[in-house]
Amino acid sequence: MSSQINQPRVRRRRVFYIPGYDPIHPRRYRELYRKESRAQADISGYEISLSPKSTDGPYGWHVRSQQDGADVEADIEVLVWSDIVRDSMSNSIPATYLQLLRTAWIYIGSGALGRLMRLRKGPVIAALYPVGMLIAQLILSLVVMWIVAVLLWPFVGWPALVLAILVAYALLHWFRKIDNRLFAYYLMHDYSYSAAMNGAVPPELGARLVEFTKHIRRALETDVDEVLVVGHSSGVHLGVTVLADLVRTQQVPGDGPNLSFLSLGQVVPMVSFLPDATDLRADLQFLSTQSDLTWIDVSAPGDGCAFALCDPVAVSGVATEQKRWPVVLSAAFTQTLSQERWKELRWRFFRLHFQYLCAFDRPGNYDYFRITAGPMTLAQRFEGREPSKSRIEQAVSKYTAVHP
């Protein structure tokens, strides 16, 4: 980090945001940024505004901000893989239940589930939630089917069974229709996709990551002061893979912009703990030793969907003596959100998982909009910050191989 600390203040920045497993159009992130940046600017006393993007490439927007006496411009772009997510979610109801069985077998049979439970209980409970919810829906549908069959049998005989089956399937279909409130199917597809190849990268996603690498490499050849990659949730391990490939193949210019990586609400162990995640573990190990970038990892114990304060390199069992990244920091929701705001959000688990991208009414050192649109590089902003004392660093993964 020290090589970047004495650099001049940032005037122009390129930001690449890698979302998690999300099927929604990236305009959602633009509108979230618009709304929350205004709220944070009002609270923190700086100016910020959005306009259409001024560069070619992925979907994005342009930001102008005046902070700490400096005028800063940033082009923020979303590295989209929502189409891949949508395709992976297009299964029928029976196929989803088959995914449930297969995914449960992978995590339980490999021993990964037991190891994950040694870390944070929150994300493991989140992983078990869709299993329990889908099983409960199936049981309820079977009970309803039995009741309908019993009630109609005396009147219509065998056709009662057909009607009962149709009613049960209609109930299951209704549950899926309201999944935007239950999130059972969504989460099941998420974990199933991560585990589909026992931790190896699916071919279609691998091809997309190559495209991501090209976009970032081109940005490093432009006249900006910092190229900042932001990974959120499962977008974190995608960012690790992309940046490791970029650095490993020597595509980071020595005299180019500062390269920074901000990982938010990471769920890396859900993949790195699986048997065939050798490439990811190799990338974690490699990236953690590099001097060509700064890597800050931010999470919060209040986020029940993330492996909060778990060093993704260390817990995956691939840390070496040369390890220097990431610096693991806490967003400390209970301190950076007012009591009223924390009370409002505390049980809204999915909303809290996105809090890193939102405004804080009692902001601390972490401010997403100062990081993405302020005059300091990631290294400068967190200069001298010690990692969280409550971070978890012990190696927990059963699988630590970095070669096939």
Query: Could you tell me if 27 and 139 lie in one domain?
Result: no
Query: Could you tell me if 148 and 77 lie in one domain?
Result: no
Query: Could you tell me if 255 and 373 lie in one domain?
Result: yes
Residues of the chain with pLDDT under 70: 1-7
The DSSP string of 302-358 is T-TTS-TTB-HHHHTT---TT----EEEE--HHHHS-HHHHHHHTT-HHHHHTGGGS
Burial 154-185 (b: 16+ CB within 10 A, else e): eeeeeebeeebeebbeebbeebeeebeebbbb
- Residue 118 domain flag: yes
Give the pLDDT score at 243.
Answer: 98
- Residue 298 domain flag: yes
Query: Could you tell me if 231 and 373 lie in one domain?
Result: yes
Give the pLDDT score at 98.
Answer: 93
- Residue 390 domain flag: no
- Residue 200 domain flag: no
- Residue 54 domain flag: yes
Both structure tokens of 327 = 């610096």
Give the pLDDT score at 91.
Answer: 77
Query: Could you tell me if 363 and 332 lie in one domain?
Result: yes
Query: Could you tell me if 166 and 311 lie in one domain?
Result: no
Query: Could you tell me if 276 and 319 lie in one domain?
Result: yes
Rg (CA), the chain: 23
Query: Could you tell me if 79 and 96 lie in one domain?
Result: no
pTM, 2 dp: 0.94
From CA 387, how far away is CA 296, in angstroms rounded? 9
From CA 341, how far away is CA 194, in angstroms rounded? 33
From CA 379, how far away is CA 113, in angstroms rounded? 35
- Residue 399 domain flag: no
Query: Could you tell me if 229 and 364 lie in one domain?
Result: yes
Burial 218-253 (b: 16+ CB within 10 A, else e): ebbeeebbbbbbbbbbbbbbbbbbbbbbbbeeebbe
Domain that holds residue 166: 89-195
Give the pLDDT score at 227.
Answer: 98
From CA 182, how far away is CA 188, in angstroms rounded? 11
Query: Could you tell me if 241 and 376 lie in one domain?
Result: yes
- Residue 387 domain flag: no
What does the chain come to in residues?
404
- Residue 211 domain flag: no
Number of domains in the chain: 2
pLDDT (tens digit, 9 = 90+) per residue, 357-384?
A: 999 999 989 999 999 999 999 999 999 9
